[in-house]
Amino acid sequence: MKVSTKRWWPSHSSARRLNAVCLLMIGAAVLALLGVDFQRYPVDPWQELSRIGWGLLLPGWSEATTLIQALLQTVAFALLAVAVSTPLGLLLAMAFRWRLVRMLCAALRSVHELFWGLIFMQLFGISPLTGLLAIIVPFSGVFAKVFAEIFEQQSPLPARAAPKGASVFIRTLYTLIPQSWPALLSYTRYRFECALRSSAILGFIGLPTLGFHLETAFKQGQYSEAGALMWAFLLLIASIRWWLRPWLIVPYLIAAIWLLPDTIGFSDGGSLWRFVSVDIWPAALLAGDWHGLLHWFSVMFSQQVWPGVVQTLLLTQIAVVLTGFIVLFTYPFASRALVGPWLRWPGRFVLLVLRCTPEMVLAFVLLLLFGPSGLPVVLALALHNGGLIAFLVANASDAAFRSGQARADDPRGLTRYAYIETPRRLPALMAFLFYRWEVILRESAIMGILGVATLGFYIDSAFEEIRYDRAFLLIVVTALLNMLVDSLSRRMRGAFSQQTNIT
């Protein structure tokens, strides 16, 4: 990382501005290191790691039907959820000028799929509806935001030239949507990949998707079975472009409805009205006991909210900075300009594996190795997000290389990395990193489900103890924290995006 000093990069330099942002982030991460719980537990990671390694190398297929069923159900949830949330997101994006809609979308996406899953589970049990809603609700918010951003980048002229008599909906349908069709499509495709990960992860709270079997296999030490599940999931994601064809989508959707699992346990258990009007509010509030409410709140704040928020923020900060370093160290190995057309493939493969593996699964495996501290969480977040961003950065580098932006006399090796590639990629890299900031925050909160003392830990415990009032308060706090980081990251991106737009 370049460090600017005194007068060599005065304020007329974009590099200095970026470096200042970098330094700020790194400084905050170093401070966070002081306060975070990174305790190592006396487990022998190497023996366990070697067993997991053997499991990955020698995957076992003893229960082929379970494996296939888990895969198909994972795909079914993802397909149906995206099929519903894409049009919903599109409609919301058309109404995005209204502040109320923007706030609603921010609220929807600020709560993680798993938390939505936990909420809906109280109402609908372990049922297909729970799984679908858990993905549809936050994804609609994300789609709305990103689609609205894509619309903003389009030329406003066609819409302005359309007759004013036509409704906004029709005008958008004829102008903005066709204009931005490729961008909408490519984002939806990416989001489907995310939906597959989310769907797999929902297994961790009990739905019969891949995560459920993965958790079971890992907990029972059946690593070759776990290895088979991991490889199958990886192949599934890596081969999306071959099996997801436009003309196959309708048959797939019909098959997906048919494939959804049966409801386990109660199907009409909780009443929505009772849940919203009674269960999620502290008893003291409903009884009008203000003193009791204050007591409830102060106990919650000092024992759960504050420690949870602090741990979540500290882990997020360290994970974001570590992600940045991982990107800087790994993208060159997947870039054609730096390691050549053939040697980049091993690098690309590793990045693809990191990108395909959900953070939660990585964290789960690392937890087995390091015990329940912040360390596995940070590592998992940084590895997954680092792989994802490094893949994008390497692609951008390759695209520039192909487009002939490369000069015949550019330097090679380490100097090329330091003088040409990294400075050219840094603005986009930082933008990606800040985009992922809120995602990393959301993820580090959810990792609490695995036993690390972030906000998710307290939320999960509250659900287990059927104390919905506590869970509700903690989820609201998590959502607010997320919105705060979202707006902060947008501001930070704005600080250096102007200069990237000029060129």
Partner 1 sequence: MTASAELFQLIRCTFRYSGPEQGERPALADITLTIGPGEKVALLGPSGAGKSTLLDLLYQQQPQCSALQPQGGGLVDLLSAYQNIFIGGLDRVGTVAALWNLVRPLAGQRQAITDLAQRLGLQDKLWHSVDRLSGGQRQRVALGRALFRQQPVFLGDEPVSAVDPVQAAELLTYVLQQHETAVVCLHNRRLALDLFDRIVVLQGGRICCDAPAGDLSAEQLDHFYQQDTSPLNPVACGHQTDGWVIRTS
Q: Does 409 bind partner 1 (CB under 8 A)?
A: yes
CA distances from 485 to 274, 383, 479, 480, 482 (A): 33, 21, 10, 9, 5
Distances in whole angstroms, Cα of residue 386 to Cα of each of 197, 285, 393: 16, 45, 10
Secondary element (H or E) of residue 139? helix 128-153
Closer CB to partner 1, 341 or 413, in the complex: 413
Nearer to partner 1, 105 or 426 (CB): 426
- Kindly tell me which of 7 and 164 has the beta carbon lying closer to partner 1: 7
- 403 lines the binding site for partner 1 (CB under 8 A): no
**Cβ contacts of 284 within 8 Å, gap of 6 or more:** 290, 291, 292, 293, 295, 296
Q: How far is the CB of 292 from partner 1 (least distance, A)?
A: 58
Q: Which stretch binds partner 1 (CB under 8 A): 12-20, 41-49, 103-111, 126-134?
A: 12-20
**DSSP readout, 211-268?**
HHHHHHHHHTT-HHHHHHHHHHHHHHHHTHHHH--GGGHHHHHHHHHHHSPPPBS-SS
Region from 81-89, 213-221, 225-233, 399-407 binding partner 1, contact rule CB under 8 A: 399-407
414 near partner 1 (CB under 8 A): yes
The secondary element (H helix, E strand) that includes residue 14 is helix 14-35
In the complex, least distance from residue 168 CB atom to partner 1, rounded to whole angstroms: 37
Q: Which residues pair with 309 in a beta bridge?
A: none
Query: How many residues sit close enough to partner 1 to count as binding (CB under 8 A)?
Result: 34
* Closer residue to partner 1 in complex, CB, 13/62: 13
CB of 418 to partner 1, least distance (A): 6
Residue number, 279 or 410, with CB nearest to partner 1:
410
Amino acid found at 332:
P
| Choices 8-16, 30-38, 71-79, 376-384; region in contact with partner 1 by CB under 8 A | 8-16
The structure tokens listed for 26 are: 């790194």
Kindly tell me which of 183 and 406 has the beta carbon lying closer to partner 1.
406
Closest CA to 335 of 277, 378, 393: 393
**Using the rule CB under 8 A, is 263 a contact of partner 1?**
no
Q: How far is the CB of 497 from partner 1 (least distance, A)?
A: 12
Dist CA 221 CA 214 (whole Å): 10
Residues 6+ apart with CB under 8 A from 410: 416, 420
Binding mask 346-385 for partner 1 (x = CB under 8 A): ----------------------------------------
Sequence-distant (6+) residues with CB within 8 A of 342 are none
Q: Which of residues 419-458 bind partner 1 (CB under 8 A)?
A: 419-420, 423-424, 426-427
332 binds partner 1 (CB under 8 A): no
Among the listed residues 379, 383, 357, the one whose alpha carbon sits nearest the alpha carbon of residue 369 = 379
Any contact of residue 8 with partner 1 (CB under 8 A)? yes
Q: Residue 312 in 3-state DSSP?
A: helix
Per CB under 8 A, the segment of 90-98, 292-300, 341-349, 414-422 that binds partner 1 is 414-422
410 scored as a contact of partner 1 (CB under 8 A): yes
Nearer Cβ to partner 1, position 99 or 407?
407
Instruction: Considering the complex, state which of residue 338 and residue 380 has its C-beta at the smaller distance from partner 1.
Output: 338
Closest by Cα among 255, 259, 342, 315 to 455: 315
Using CB under 8 A as the criterion, which residues of the chain lie in contact with partner 1 when the complex forms? 2-3, 5, 7-10, 12-16, 18, 405-411, 413-415, 418-420, 423-424, 426-427, 499-500, 502-503
